[in-house]
A and B are shown apart, each in its own frame.
Chain A
Amino acid sequence: MKKFIYKATIITLPVLILLLLVNYFGDAARLFDSDYEKQMAKIVASNKYVTNIENYDERLFQKELISDKNIQPNLVIIGSSRTMLINSDLFPSALLFNNSVSGASIEDIVSIYELYKFNKKSPQKIIIGIDPWTFNENNGQKRWQSISAYYYSFQNTINQENTTYFKYKELFSFSYFQSSLKMIPCFIAGNANPKSTKETHNLLATKLTDGSFVYGEQYRNANQIEIDNKINSYLTGGIYSIEAFDNISVRILNEFEKLIIDMKENGIEIEFFLAPYAPVVYDKIQKKYPMVLKSEEMINDFASSNNIKLYGSFNPYILGMDKTYFYDGMHCKEVGIEMIIKN
């Protein structure tokens, strides 16, 4: 028995140590490097662009930005990666800041709004990017948990989630190991930190001083064949966050209404923005995802009954957009966004 335990330990211990070391030092999602988002925010707040950014916690980055005294916008964009490209050139008369985060759920929108309130710098106007998955209870979005304190603060409830537990659970995660292992060369070369730059367009993704986003060179300059492949890949892989969209969530709808009421009570002007899908993706949505169409109808009704201005649509056809307006299946290019806002 002793021999068995000794040998089992000899085999499992090095594996466990390797797992912990790679997850901690490779740290693909920067869970254990709390300075990373601070460094990024510091660069942006000092009026410089930041690049060489990958796999950071976008929510924590927003928290750092909003708490910085140099960030004092009067127009704020809160949405997902589908609104990340909205920049200050499109609203020249406003002091715009884009606080969009990838895969934004209602909890993200609420938390970011609450962060502005908490820092006593509520803007005059907020444009909310609404996605088809916003009202889907089964959207699978969990990333908001890193700023969940602000979500619960808005709801006047106590934080039930132990985010520290989730963070340290990742130390033992094999899927986190797979991502972190790829970051080890960067860690060894000491090349993992964000860099300030004067260029808006860089090799890797860049965040501009207005919080908007510019894709890295490879994504930005993909030719139409590569884009078509991305769209096909998107189609066959299942449509992001709406695969189990069975009905419009009453809970989310109530929270959304509460948010709008709170914004209005605080004298904030509200506008909605709906980003389109690539045409073939929308074709599939029409056939397979009726709740997306129902969501858009509901948003339209809500906006008109509450006198809220609405930009865009999930439907690219009514916006006059073909596939050349897209980077992939769900992300519209800058030219398309400009067309939506200007029209």
Chain B
Amino acid sequence: MNKIVEARFIAPDIKLFRIEAPKIAEKRKPGQFVVVRVDEYGERIPLTIADSDPNEGTVTIIVQGVGKTTKQLNLLEAGDYVRDIVGPLGKPSEIENYGVAVSIGGGVGTAIAYPTAKALKEAGNYVIGIIGGRSKEYVILEDEMKKICDELYPTTDDGSYGFHGFVTHKLQQLLDEGRKIDFVLAIGPIPMMKAVAEVTRPYGIKTVVSLNPIMVDATGMCGGCRVTVDNKTYFACVDGPEFDAHKVDFDNLMKRNRMYIEHEKKALEEFICRIDLMAKKLEKQNA
């Protein structure tokens, strides 16, 4: 059981948590993640460690409510507990001084890119941040990113804030302007990462993405998280989650992530049903 010491929404459906986990806080490196289980019947879900405070013994995670487990997690408040948290898992990001590094985050991907972007800055890179969202309220961690980026470009699909367009359009614009870029880190929805890979491929820019396959144990025991990279099979939880974007088979990953789509729908419907029932009961009690 691990205690939540802080919980607050930072965007619609996106919640930041600080959770007590002293050993993980002490050990973790940028790019690593934890597995969280909310309760006894809970699924094991992987979440990136966005930040940590070794003195206080906490790790920060930022969770987007997309399905049953993440929505259930996002109902928790400071003072509540999660049943399990284990980590730090996965290989840390390979941090080097590449020169000019662009860190691209799409949606909640910004939270996953943030710790690595910070480490890239600390390693001496000139860091350009591109952080996208559907509209203004979905652009997250702008203040945090501003602190560590030499240049920061928020983008929105609907133009309600910052650059009007996708993160890839902004990246293409920088390249068209003839900007020298030595390294790109792109984290977000799979179509976005695939699109970034296509933008940088002709320029031969080293591009790294963080893959998000479905995981179970996340310690290399099940092979459920296997991804195809350079026509070889890797276990993303131990060999990744970061891989060379130009070699990833995104289509296979996209298909594999749809494996339980029917189950996910059902689980979410039942969960919402249950919450509604609970709300009605409470209303009755209070009436």
- Tell me whether A and B are bound partners: no
Interface residues of A (CB under 8 A from B): none
B: residues with CB less than 8 A from A are none
